[in-house]
Structures are given as C-alpha cells and as structure tokens.
Amino acid sequence: MQSVELRRRVQAGLNKGEARNALARAVFFYRLGEIRDRSFEQQRYRASGLNLVTAAIVLWNTVYLERATNALRGHGRTVDDTLLQYLSPLGWEHINLTGDYLWRSKAKIGGGKFRPLRAIEKP
C-alpha cells in the first residue's frame, strides 16, 4: 500500500461503510442494535426493514441535498461542484428517530411536491 491515492480511496470507502453502519445503528436504536428474533424468517424481515428505512433516509437526503444546492444556485450563490463529492446523504441529525410522531392530516403534500427548504440567509 505504497500508493497514497489508493490509501485515500480505500479510507474513503471504509468511512462510507462506517457512516452507513452508524445510520443503521441509530435507526435500530430501540433494540440496541440487536436482532433478537428467534426464527431466521423474522430476522430476515427485521433486517430487510432496517435496510428499507436506511435506504429511504439516504434517498430523502439525496433529493433534498440536490434541492438545496439548486436553491443556492437559484439565489445567485456559487456552489463549487468539486466539493459536492464530499457531501454525504448518510446524515440523520435532522431526523427524529426516537420519540413521538405527529402526522397532521391537513399538512399532506401532493405527489411530486416537496416540503419547503429553509430560507436562505443573505450574505
């Protein structure tokens, strides 16, 4: 492993894997990260559910990162495309993974619509 570039790529891949595992642990917090079901089928269902929720969070974050980037550009802000590769859709700090969830029936969002982004502060 004499190549510095190869080590960087390997480390970046490891970091992505660790970030994905950290997200899965956060999602699976209730069971302390353990699958305690006795049957293989139930274990498989629980693991599949965990993968589904994790993938949904990554998709949600990816869509909103793109929308935020486009909104910044739309307001005349410069966004360095070379820095976008360092953004990760694996963050979950903005998602309430534990607690009460209130679903207001009046706040339904139609198909193809999105929740509004935060207001962009003026420089």
Q: List the alpha helices (DSSP H) in 4-120.
A: 4-27, 40-74
pLDDT, tens only, 20-51: 888 888 888 766 667 778 899 988 988 898 89
Residue 89 within any structural domain of the chain: yes
Residue 20 within any structural domain of the chain: yes
Q: Amino acid letter at 34?
A: E
Closest CA to 31 of 97, 102, 95, 94: 97
Q: Which domain holds residue 57?
A: 4-93
**In the structure, what pLDDT confidence band is assigned to residue 69 with cuts at 50, 70 and 90?**
very high
Residue 100 within any structural domain of the chain: no
Residue 59 within any structural domain of the chain: yes
- Could you tell me the sign of the dihedral formed by the alpha carbons of 46, 51, 54, 57, in that order? negative
Residue 120 within any structural domain of the chain: no
| Tally of domains within the chain | 1
Closest CA to 23 of 93, 99, 101, 86: 93
Residue 119 within any structural domain of the chain: no
